[in-house]
Structure 1
């Protein structure tokens, strides 16, 4: 990417059916924050905007479980998720509640306008499909109410996506479909809903190949294109969701990730005073979608299908960042199944800091597929960082402060930082490779002088922001570390004292055991 580009990153909206676990933190949201910080360090103008997915049926399921209304559930978890992200040092420029007074009407109107546009262009078609209903209650068994086996890999799944292989399906494709909320027999009914299909499926596949999407993440998209030509849902059965005057009362507009992102673009346009939404073709803003591999259809297919059907009024994401699913102790982290470690409990209830947790999560190679994190590995990474700070970093900071000599141009630090930032673009990023660059720098055969500390700050900037700020401040620089500042600006005289906070003691895995939630995800 060229210097001084405008970039909008939209990490997929989390569902407010609970607080965030380490799978959330280590995947999409950490990637959005790391990439944004790397781009800003190079001089780009970057915004990160998202919000909670309040119109998801999983909210209704959580409300039922918690014994309160869906509205109360949304408000509580929406605020809690914002706190979780802040505790992990994930910075957002806007955090949207689509059901709140500020956004409700405009959010619904955008979805209705796009549906009407697709109907007007002929891209949207009313099609018949078979939908399962619970015979005893008459509830449509969609989303959290539907269980069965994946038609592609045969694993247990539900809703419309397999979290194991990323397969997307409609209810009638689910093998041995059954109700998740009781033993009621399933009754199949024929319903009509709006769908859109890709005008040019081949072009969609080639666009993502050309953008560098890794084969492991491309595979579910290719299956969807080959299996049904890129057919995506525009409306569905539901009582909780985005209702429209143009739809029957028992139908809702699909609350998809792409139109959520387009609405984030509207928020970006309003906040920056831009003339057009970033998703308008030729807007001058690079749009980046970030999501997990279990959302391949919403993230990779739907944007192109809607953009093709809009006939020039919308453009898909310019770049997409897909991460594999993080497993904890051998099973996928899950909010609904209470499996994992919750960010609020770990970062508020233990001595583990945001930097330390980020450091551990960065070593899980999710940019190449699923990865597993054990409690032992988490503890080892935290203790390794603590030991290095105590034995190496803090003495180096004290030595440099005592010397009080100006920092010479750190040629090798600038070169290494540029190499690391090249791993953190929105096109096929590799966060684990980036943290290896940091690890090599802090443990390599370098003189532990001011030039080395410049490298520590620049390389830590995207990954461990608290550490980067600490080092940068002690070097006498103002603001946050950037390549331009390191290359051209003289640091201020170093007057800051060395760190006085006693170093934390090594972390014992036993102290974290009470924060671990283990449940059979099947």
Structure 2
């Protein structure tokens, strides 16, 4: 499918209930950054816009655990997550706090306007549902407050989506529902909330098939369409969230990923001076949603249902990039369970660099489903990259300083980079295949000369940006590695740059990372 010249990528908003772990870094946000860099290298105008999910009940749970207000919890973790992403070399064009003064009113208004629009078109309907409440405290047991077993796979879960199988469910479907924080016995009450259902469920499935969504990620969507025809929630129980005068006390507008993305589109429109939101029909912008497989309903179903119900005022994502869940040492990385390695601790407390961590995470094939990374495999990838930089890259850059002949046209490098970038489109990307293409280039039989270095820079650009920029600068080329620039450059005389390659740290011992590993609270 065709990609417009202008592209907006919206990775799913992380919840500010803690800092980012390697599951976050290696999944959605790394994919957004890699795809954006590959598209920019081909001349596209690309923006990556997201922010934190401040109205998620997990924030309240974190505040309860940390002994402070939800507002303070949001502010602290919102800022910390931004630092984590920057530390991993994930480049964002806007980082939005929907509860902050700049965005609060406009964010609430957009959600209310869309809900009113769906009511007007008849797409939104009030429906009865059974909701569990804590008998002792009166708390609605939804989101982080409810635990049980998934009605589809039987694994422990809570909220409305199973992190193991990716299935969506309503509270009354949860098996053996119980309070997660010991609120006492559960009682069920009938409540009325707003829902919308797909006008044409078959068209949703067909659209995602045509866009190249892999079967492993399409399957939960197909099951949801078959089970309930594409029914999605528009309002729910809660006191922390997007309040509306049109809803009774104790209810909030659902703070879903798609309308968050539409708001990101509005921020992007205002910053660029565009005439319409990228999610408006005919905007001329390719919109890309990126999220983990545990968010199949918010990411794959809700955008189409709301777009259909809006009757031509909104369009769903043009492309969706879904990644499987990253497991660490056999269990899914989890903020609430404190399982994984946290980016800030790893990158600030050890010798591991952003490029090295990205290199290790890129080898986990999350574009094809769940994958596991161990402390040993992480260490092995870091050491492999360090060894190559010391034994191959540094000597090649040293020889470059001694050459006086021009850098030749790098036809083989251009061909290899073009093939790699084809793996990094928003339609069925494969980051592991892309890093394997990089590995093949740096470990192949080609002579480690100036032409080879052009290929190193071009193939590294989406994946290992610090390395790519370093090599490109040593070649004497301006700016960032750029496929179009390399295609049209006449052979340039080397500028004999001073200095040598940055010396990587010595071999990494897994024991050095052990203090930063968290393995706790597994059910």
TM-score (norm 1): 0.99
Structure 2 residue 499 is the aligned partner of structure 1 residue 498: yes
Superposition deviation, residue 444 in structure 1? 0.3
The 3 A distance-change label for structure 1 pair 3 and 485 is farther
1:147-226 superposed matches below 5 A: 147-182=147-182, 184-226=184-226
1:345-384 superposed matches below 5 A: 345-384=345-384
Decide whether the 8 Å contact of 1:238 with 1:251 is kept in 2: yes
Counterpart residue number, 1:31: 31
Q: Deviations over 1:458-515 (max 9, x none)?
A: 0000000000000000000010001111111244642322336443110000000000
Counterpart residue number, 2:456: 456
The 3 A distance-change label for structure 1 pair 70 and 311 is same
C-alpha distance in structure 2 between counterparts of 1:445 and 1:502, whole Å: 24
Counterpart residue number, 2:6: 6
Superposition deviation, residue 402 in structure 1? 1.0
C-alpha distance in structure 2 between counterparts of 1:100 and 1:380, whole Å: 42
C-alpha distance in structure 2 between counterparts of 1:516 and 1:175, whole Å: 32
Q: Secondary structure at the match of 1:398?
A: helix
Counterpart residue number, 1:295: 295
Decide whether the 8 Å contact of 1:394 with 1:498 is kept in 2: no
1:466-485 superposed matches below 5 A: 466-485=466-485
Counterpart residue number, 2:40: 40
Counterpart residue number, 1:51: 51
Structure 2 residue 435 is the aligned partner of structure 1 residue 427: no
C-alpha distance in structure 2 between counterparts of 1:97 and 1:3, whole Å: 29
Counterpart residue number, 1:114: 114
Q: Deviations over 1:343-400 (max 9, x none)?
A: 0000001000000000000000000000000000000000000000000001101111
Q: Deviations over 1:211-263 (max 9, x none)?
A: 11011100110110000000000000000000001111210000000000000
Superposition deviation, residue 312 in structure 1? 0.0
The 3 A distance-change label for structure 1 pair 4 and 310 is closer
Decide whether the 8 Å contact of 1:324 with 1:368 is kept in 2: yes
Q: What is the total number of aligned residue pairs between the two structures?
A: 522
Q: Deviations over 1:3-40 (max 9, x none)?
A: 87100000000000000000000000000000000000
Counterpart residue number, 2:508: 507
Decide whether the 8 Å contact of 1:51 with 1:96 is kept in 2: yes
Structure 1, unmatched stretches of 5+, are: none
C-alpha distance in structure 2 between counterparts of 1:407 and 1:452, whole Å: 10
Q: Secondary structure at the match of 1:7?
A: strand
Structure 2, unmatched stretches of 5+, are: none
Superposition deviation, residue 170 in structure 1? 0.6
Q: Deviations over 1:167-220 (max 9, x none)?
A: 101100111100001051101000000000000000000110111101110011
C-alpha distance in structure 2 between counterparts of 1:62 and 1:437, whole Å: 41
C-alpha distance in structure 1 between counterparts of 2:493 and 2:345, whole Å: 39
Q: Secondary structure at the match of 1:346?
A: helix
Decide whether the 8 Å contact of 1:477 with 1:492 is kept in 2: no
C-alpha distance in structure 2 between counterparts of 1:339 and 1:318, whole Å: 34
Taking only aligned residues, the RMSD between alpha carbons, in angstroms, comes to 1.0
C-alpha distance in structure 2 between counterparts of 1:165 and 1:402, whole Å: 57
Q: Secondary structure at the match of 1:139?
A: coil
1:299-310 superposed matches below 5 A: 299-310=299-310
Counterpart residue number, 1:318: 318
Counterpart residue number, 1:516: 517
Q: Deviations over 1:154-176 (max 9, x none)?
A: 10000000000001011001111
Superposition deviation, residue 323 in structure 1? 0.1
C-alpha distance in structure 1 between counterparts of 2:493 and 2:325, whole Å: 44
Structure 2 residue 386 is the aligned partner of structure 1 residue 386: yes
Tell which deviates more after alignment, 478-487 or 19-28.
Answer: 478-487
Counterpart residue number, 1:135: 135
Counterpart residue number, 1:231: 231
Decide whether the 8 Å contact of 2:407 with 2:493 is kept in 1: no
Structure 2 residue 442 is the aligned partner of structure 1 residue 442: yes
C-alpha distance in structure 1 between counterparts of 2:325 and 2:41, whole Å: 28
C-alpha distance in structure 2 between counterparts of 1:231 and 1:415, whole Å: 46
Decide whether the 8 Å contact of 1:3 with 1:42 is kept in 2: no
Superposition deviation, residue 401 in structure 1? 1.8
Counterpart residue number, 2:272: 272
Q: Secondary structure at the match of 2:207?
A: helix
TM-score (norm 2): 0.99
Decide whether the 8 Å contact of 2:28 with 2:291 is kept in 1: yes
